[in-house]
């Protein structure tokens, strides 16, 4: 299945009266596929991507759960094979890790405060630190042309 055919299949799914969850993932799929279509990919990369789309059976995806699974499998394929990531990928991951480590740091390092205050300050500090680290990584990926639009 070519990238253009996959876009057409997803657009027809959006036009159908499907649940909003299906439309959400179909629109995200369309966004990624159009980004790939606009990239200057060599023929071997394009062929591998089209083979992956064929394996996902894009025409048969109708239910939200199937579409979500296929969407994340396709993103995983793009990330592992070509190091392509969706926008804000590193920011989201770094903020989540910052929250986890911030809570622990708040409990351990800020134990002079009340427990809830230490946790709150650690959580906020972890979020802020994760945000800035993620933004830096996202900018580096964008400069290397490895971000899908």
- Write the CB contacts of 29 (distance below 8 Å, at least 6 apart in sequence): 6, 10, 67, 70, 71, 74
Average pLDDT over residues 2-30: 82
Considering only CA atoms, give the Rg of the chain: 20
Interhelix angle for 64-82 vs 43-55, to 10°?
Answer: 150
For a pLDDT cut of 90, what percent of the chain falls above it? 37
Res. 69: pLDDT tops 80: yes
Res. 68: pLDDT tops 80: yes
Res. 114: pLDDT tops 90: no
Burial of 25 (0-12, 13-18, 19+ CB in 10 A): buried
Angle at 41 between CA 40 and CA 47, to 5 degrees: 150
Burial of 24 (0-12, 13-18, 19+ CB in 10 A): middle
How many CA atoms, within 13 angstroms, populate the side-chain half-sphere of residue 94? 16
pLDDT tier at 42, thresholds 50, 70, 90? confident
Task: Extract the tokens encoding 84.
Answer: 């392509």
C-alpha dihedral sign at 85, 88, 93, 97: positive
């Amino acid at each position: 299945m070519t990238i253009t055919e996959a876009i057409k299949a997803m657009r027809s799914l959006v036009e159908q009266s499907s649940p909003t969850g299906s439309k959400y993932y179909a629109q995200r799929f369309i966004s990624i596929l159009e980004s790939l279509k606009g990239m200057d990919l060599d023929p071997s990369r394009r062929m591998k991507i089209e083979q992956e789309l064929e394996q996902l059976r894009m025409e048969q995806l109708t239910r939200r759960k199937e579409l979500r699974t296929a969407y994340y499998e396709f993103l995983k394929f793009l990330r592992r094979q070509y190091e392509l990531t969706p926008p804000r990928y590193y920011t989201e991951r770094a903020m989540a890790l910052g929250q986890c480590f911030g809570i622990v740091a708040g409990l351990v390092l800020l134990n002079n405060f009340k427990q809830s205050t230490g946790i709150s300050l650690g959580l906020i500090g972890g979020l802020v630190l994760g945000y800035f680290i993620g933004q830096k990584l996202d900018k580096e990926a964008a400069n290397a042309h490895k971000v899908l639009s």
